[in-house]
Amino acid sequence: MSGWKPKRFWKAVHVTECEGGFTVHLDTRQAKTPGKQPLILPTRAMAEAVAAEWDAQQGPLRPETMPFTRAANSAIDKVAPQFDVTVADLAGYGGTDLLCYRATGPEGLISRQNDGWSPLLDWSASVLQAPLVAVPGVMHIAQKQPSLARLHGHVAAMTPFQITGFHDLVQLSGSLILALAVTRGRLTADEAWALSRIDETWQIEAWGVDEDAAALTEHKRTAFHHAATFWSMSAPN
Protein backbone atom coordinates (compact mmCIF):
# COMPACT_ATOMS: atom_id res chain seq x y z
CA MET A 1 0.00 0.00 0.00
CA SER A 2 2.97 2.33 0.46
CA GLY A 3 3.18 2.87 -3.29
CA TRP A 4 -0.49 3.88 -3.66
CA LYS A 5 -1.15 7.28 -5.15
CA PRO A 6 -4.50 9.07 -5.44
CA LYS A 7 -5.91 9.08 -8.94
CA ARG A 8 -8.35 11.25 -10.81
CA PHE A 9 -11.89 10.24 -9.88
CA TRP A 10 -13.79 13.26 -11.23
CA LYS A 11 -15.08 14.08 -14.69
CA ALA A 12 -15.54 17.84 -14.40
CA VAL A 13 -13.95 20.69 -12.49
CA HIS A 14 -15.72 23.99 -11.89
CA VAL A 15 -15.40 27.15 -9.82
CA THR A 16 -18.21 28.48 -7.66
CA GLU A 17 -18.59 31.52 -5.46
CA CYS A 18 -19.01 30.76 -1.77
CA GLU A 19 -18.93 32.44 1.60
CA GLY A 20 -15.45 33.87 2.02
CA GLY A 21 -14.48 33.77 -1.64
CA PHE A 22 -14.44 31.07 -4.29
CA THR A 23 -14.03 27.33 -4.25
CA VAL A 24 -13.32 24.47 -6.63
CA HIS A 25 -15.63 21.51 -7.11
CA LEU A 26 -14.57 18.14 -8.48
CA ASP A 27 -17.91 17.01 -9.90
CA THR A 28 -20.10 17.68 -6.84
CA ARG A 29 -17.35 17.46 -4.23
CA GLN A 30 -15.75 20.59 -2.84
CA ALA A 31 -11.97 20.35 -3.00
CA LYS A 32 -10.24 20.27 0.37
CA THR A 33 -6.73 20.86 1.61
CA PRO A 34 -4.51 18.03 2.92
CA GLY A 35 -5.56 19.24 6.37
CA LYS A 36 -9.20 18.57 5.42
CA GLN A 37 -10.08 22.26 5.33
CA PRO A 38 -12.42 23.58 2.60
CA LEU A 39 -10.36 24.99 -0.24
CA ILE A 40 -11.73 28.53 -0.16
CA LEU A 41 -9.76 30.98 -2.29
CA PRO A 42 -9.82 34.79 -2.10
CA THR A 43 -10.27 35.57 -5.81
CA ARG A 44 -11.85 34.01 -8.86
CA ALA A 45 -8.53 34.29 -10.71
CA MET A 46 -6.83 32.08 -8.13
CA ALA A 47 -9.73 29.64 -8.07
CA GLU A 48 -9.62 29.31 -11.85
CA ALA A 49 -5.84 28.74 -11.78
CA VAL A 50 -6.29 26.02 -9.15
CA ALA A 51 -9.18 24.48 -11.07
CA ALA A 52 -7.08 24.36 -14.23
CA GLU A 53 -4.41 22.38 -12.38
CA TRP A 54 -6.96 19.85 -11.14
CA ASP A 55 -8.52 19.58 -14.57
CA ALA A 56 -5.12 18.90 -16.15
CA GLN A 57 -4.50 15.83 -13.97
CA GLN A 58 -4.75 12.47 -15.70
CA GLY A 59 -4.27 9.19 -13.85
CA PRO A 60 -2.23 9.46 -10.61
CA LEU A 61 -2.11 12.99 -9.21
CA ARG A 62 1.16 14.83 -9.74
CA PRO A 63 1.46 17.51 -7.04
CA GLU A 64 4.63 18.88 -8.63
CA THR A 65 2.47 20.07 -11.55
CA MET A 66 0.07 21.93 -9.23
CA PRO A 67 2.03 24.88 -7.78
CA PHE A 68 -1.00 27.13 -7.26
CA THR A 69 -2.91 24.36 -5.49
CA ARG A 70 0.06 23.59 -3.24
CA ALA A 71 0.45 27.28 -2.40
CA ALA A 72 -3.25 27.64 -1.60
CA ASN A 73 -3.10 24.56 0.62
CA SER A 74 -0.12 26.05 2.45
CA ALA A 75 -1.91 29.37 2.97
CA ILE A 76 -4.84 27.61 4.64
CA ASP A 77 -3.14 24.74 6.49
CA LYS A 78 0.21 26.27 7.44
CA VAL A 79 0.40 30.05 7.14
CA ALA A 80 -2.96 31.06 8.60
CA PRO A 81 -2.51 29.03 11.83
CA GLN A 82 1.05 30.32 12.27
CA PHE A 83 0.58 33.80 10.85
CA ASP A 84 2.53 35.82 13.43
CA VAL A 85 5.47 33.41 13.44
CA THR A 86 5.63 33.38 9.64
CA VAL A 87 5.50 37.16 9.46
CA ALA A 88 8.32 37.46 11.99
CA ASP A 89 10.47 34.96 10.08
CA LEU A 90 10.04 36.80 6.79
CA ALA A 91 10.45 40.27 8.26
CA GLY A 92 13.66 39.04 9.84
CA TYR A 93 15.27 38.98 6.41
CA GLY A 94 15.38 42.77 6.66
CA GLY A 95 18.18 42.41 9.19
CA THR A 96 20.34 40.38 6.80
CA ASP A 97 19.10 41.51 3.41
CA LEU A 98 21.10 40.45 0.36
CA LEU A 99 21.22 44.05 -0.89
CA CYS A 100 23.10 45.20 2.20
CA TYR A 101 26.21 43.01 1.78
CA ARG A 102 28.47 44.06 -1.05
CA ALA A 103 31.48 42.53 -2.76
CA THR A 104 34.94 43.85 -1.92
CA GLY A 105 36.13 43.06 -5.44
CA PRO A 106 36.59 42.95 -8.35
CA GLU A 107 35.62 46.49 -9.31
CA GLY A 108 33.25 45.32 -12.03
CA LEU A 109 31.18 43.31 -9.57
CA ILE A 110 31.21 46.12 -7.03
CA SER A 111 29.92 48.50 -9.70
CA ARG A 112 27.25 46.06 -10.87
CA GLN A 113 25.94 45.57 -7.33
CA ASN A 114 25.93 49.30 -6.62
CA ASP A 115 24.09 50.07 -9.85
CA GLY A 116 21.52 47.34 -9.31
CA TRP A 117 21.00 47.32 -5.55
CA SER A 118 21.54 50.86 -4.31
CA PRO A 119 18.43 52.26 -6.07
CA LEU A 120 16.35 49.62 -4.27
CA LEU A 121 17.77 50.63 -0.89
CA ASP A 122 16.99 54.25 -1.80
CA TRP A 123 13.43 53.13 -2.62
CA SER A 124 13.17 51.32 0.71
CA ALA A 125 14.25 54.47 2.53
CA SER A 126 11.89 56.82 0.67
CA VAL A 127 8.80 54.71 -0.04
CA LEU A 128 8.87 52.11 2.70
CA GLN A 129 10.33 54.56 5.23
CA ALA A 130 12.84 51.86 6.12
CA PRO A 131 16.44 52.93 5.41
CA LEU A 132 18.98 50.10 5.52
CA VAL A 133 22.76 50.37 5.65
CA ALA A 134 24.95 48.57 3.09
CA VAL A 135 28.49 47.45 3.93
CA PRO A 136 31.35 45.78 2.06
CA GLY A 137 31.93 42.17 3.00
CA VAL A 138 29.79 39.65 4.83
CA MET A 139 30.23 40.64 8.46
CA HIS A 140 26.82 41.24 9.99
CA ILE A 141 25.73 44.81 10.60
CA ALA A 142 22.81 45.61 12.87
CA GLN A 143 20.14 47.64 11.11
CA LYS A 144 18.21 50.35 12.94
CA GLN A 145 15.23 49.05 14.86
CA PRO A 146 12.71 51.60 13.48
CA SER A 147 13.49 50.41 9.95
CA LEU A 148 13.06 46.77 10.92
CA ALA A 149 9.80 47.59 12.68
CA ARG A 150 8.44 49.32 9.57
CA LEU A 151 9.42 46.38 7.39
CA HIS A 152 7.69 44.05 9.83
CA GLY A 153 4.58 46.21 9.56
CA HIS A 154 4.59 46.00 5.76
CA VAL A 155 4.73 42.20 5.93
CA ALA A 156 2.13 41.93 8.70
CA ALA A 157 -0.35 43.91 6.58
CA MET A 158 -0.55 41.04 4.08
CA THR A 159 -3.14 38.27 4.10
CA PRO A 160 -2.17 34.61 4.64
CA PHE A 161 -2.49 34.01 0.89
CA GLN A 162 -0.26 36.98 0.09
CA ILE A 163 2.22 35.85 2.73
CA THR A 164 2.40 32.45 1.07
CA GLY A 165 3.50 33.91 -2.26
CA PHE A 166 5.68 36.46 -0.52
CA HIS A 167 7.46 33.70 1.41
CA ASP A 168 8.92 32.21 -1.77
CA LEU A 169 9.77 35.63 -3.22
CA VAL A 170 11.86 36.34 -0.13
CA GLN A 171 13.48 32.94 0.30
CA LEU A 172 14.34 32.42 -3.36
CA SER A 173 15.84 35.90 -3.76
CA GLY A 174 17.35 36.23 -0.28
CA SER A 175 15.97 39.74 -0.09
CA LEU A 176 12.99 41.21 1.71
CA ILE A 177 13.43 44.44 -0.23
CA LEU A 178 13.37 42.78 -3.65
CA ALA A 179 10.25 40.84 -2.65
CA LEU A 180 8.49 43.99 -1.45
CA ALA A 181 9.52 45.75 -4.66
CA VAL A 182 7.79 43.04 -6.70
CA THR A 183 4.59 43.13 -4.67
CA ARG A 184 4.44 46.93 -4.89
CA GLY A 185 5.12 47.12 -8.62
CA ARG A 186 8.57 48.70 -8.28
CA LEU A 187 10.10 45.70 -10.07
CA THR A 188 8.83 42.96 -12.32
CA ALA A 189 9.53 39.39 -11.29
CA ASP A 190 12.11 39.16 -14.08
CA GLU A 191 13.89 42.30 -12.88
CA ALA A 192 13.93 41.19 -9.26
CA TRP A 193 15.20 37.72 -10.15
CA ALA A 194 18.04 39.18 -12.23
CA LEU A 195 19.01 41.52 -9.40
CA SER A 196 19.04 38.65 -6.93
CA ARG A 197 21.44 36.75 -9.21
CA ILE A 198 24.07 39.44 -9.78
CA ASP A 199 26.81 37.48 -8.00
CA GLU A 200 25.93 34.20 -9.73
CA THR A 201 25.72 35.86 -13.14
CA TRP A 202 29.15 37.38 -12.59
CA GLN A 203 30.59 33.94 -11.79
CA ILE A 204 28.97 32.40 -14.87
CA GLU A 205 30.42 35.11 -17.07
CA ALA A 206 33.86 34.45 -15.60
CA TRP A 207 33.86 30.64 -15.41
CA GLY A 208 31.10 29.42 -17.70
CA VAL A 209 27.87 27.52 -17.14
CA ASP A 210 27.58 24.44 -14.95
CA GLU A 211 24.68 22.42 -16.36
CA ASP A 212 23.48 21.02 -13.03
CA ALA A 213 23.60 24.42 -11.39
CA ALA A 214 21.82 25.96 -14.38
CA ALA A 215 19.00 23.41 -14.13
CA LEU A 216 18.55 24.15 -10.43
CA THR A 217 18.58 27.89 -11.11
CA GLU A 218 15.88 27.51 -13.76
CA HIS A 219 13.75 25.51 -11.33
CA LYS A 220 14.08 28.29 -8.75
CA ARG A 221 13.38 30.99 -11.35
CA THR A 222 10.15 29.25 -12.33
CA ALA A 223 9.14 28.96 -8.68
CA PHE A 224 9.90 32.66 -8.18
CA HIS A 225 7.60 33.60 -11.04
CA HIS A 226 4.85 31.31 -9.74
CA ALA A 227 5.15 33.01 -6.35
CA ALA A 228 4.81 36.45 -7.93
CA THR A 229 1.73 35.34 -9.85
CA PHE A 230 0.20 33.73 -6.76
CA TRP A 231 0.73 36.95 -4.81
CA SER A 232 -0.91 39.01 -7.55
CA MET A 233 -3.93 36.68 -7.55
CA SER A 234 -4.31 36.88 -3.77
CA ALA A 235 -6.24 40.14 -3.64
CA PRO A 236 -8.87 41.71 -5.91
CA ASN A 237 -7.62 44.45 -8.20
Q: Are residues 94 and 156 in the same domain?
A: yes
Determine the structural domain holding residue 27 and report its residue range.
13-65
The CATH number for 143's domain is 1.10.3580.10
pTM of the model: 0.94
Closest CA to 204 of 195, 213, 216, 196: 213
DSSP 187: S
Q: Are residues 54 and 114 in the same domain?
A: no
Q: For 52-61, 114-123, 142-151, 172-181, which range has the lowest pLDDT when averaged over its residues?
A: 52-61
Rounded mean pLDDT, 148-176: 98
Q: What is the pLDDT of residue 190?
A: 98
Q: Is the previous residue joined to 106 through a cis bond, with omega within 30 degrees of 0?
A: yes
Q: Are 163 and 75 in contact (CB under 8 A)?
A: yes
Q: What is the pLDDT of residue 120?
A: 98
Pairing relationship of beta strands 29-30 and 40-41 according to DSSP bridges = unpaired
Q: Is 137 helix (H, G, I), strand (E, B) or coil?
A: coil
Average pLDDT, the chain: 95
4 pLDDT exceeds 70? Answer: no
Q: Are residues 166 and 60 in the same domain?
A: no
The domain tally of the chain equals 2
Q: Are residues 123 and 97 in the same domain?
A: yes
A 10 A CB-CB count for 174 gives 16
Q: Are 8 and 58 in contact (CB under 8 A)?
A: yes
Whole-number Å distance between alpha carbons of 153 and 88:
10
Each residue of 94-110: pLDDT tens digit?
999 999 999 999 999 99
Q: Are 181 and 192 in contact (CB under 8 A)?
A: yes
Whole-number Å distance between alpha carbons of 85 and 68:
23
Rounded mean pLDDT, 163-173: 98
In this structure, is the dihedral angle defined by the CA atoms of residues 59, 64, 69 and 72, taken in order, positive or negative? positive
Q: Are residues 97 and 126 in the same domain?
A: yes
pLDDT grade for 83, boundaries at 50, 70 and 90: very high
1 pLDDT exceeds 50? Answer: no
Q: Are residues 139 and 88 in the same domain?
A: yes
Rounded mean pLDDT, 209-218: 92
